[in-house]
Amino acid sequence: MRNLVKVVGVIVLFFGVLNATEFKVDKSHSNVGFSVKHMMISNVKGKFNTYDSKIDFDAKTKKFYALSATIKTNSVDTANEKRDNHLRSADFFYASKFPDMKFVMKSFKLEDDNEGIMIGDLTIRGVTKEVKLEVELNGVIKDFRGETRLGFTLEGEINRKDFGLKWNKALELGGVVVGEKVEIEVEVEAIKK
Q: Give me the CATH number covering residue 141.
A: 2.40.128.110
pLDDT tens, position by position, for the chain (193 residues)?
566 555 444 444 444 444 679 999 999 999 999 887 554 555 778 899 999 999 999 999 999 999 999 999 999 999 989 989 988 988 888 999 999 999 999 999 999 989 999 999 999 999 999 999 999 999 898 888 889 999 999 999 987 778 776 654 444 554 434 556 788 899 999 999 8
Do 104 and 121 form a contact (C-beta atoms < 8 A)? yes
The upper half-sphere exposure of residue 163, i.e. CA atoms within 13 Å in the direction of its Cβ, equals: 26
Give CA 90 to chain center in angstroms.
23
Residue 138 lies in a domain: yes
Containing domain of residue 125, as a range?
A: 21-192
Residue 12 lies in a domain: no
Residue 9 lies in a domain: no
Q: What is the pTM of this model?
A: 0.83
Residue 155 lies in a domain: yes
Residue 42 lies in a domain: yes
How many structural domains is the chain composed of? 1
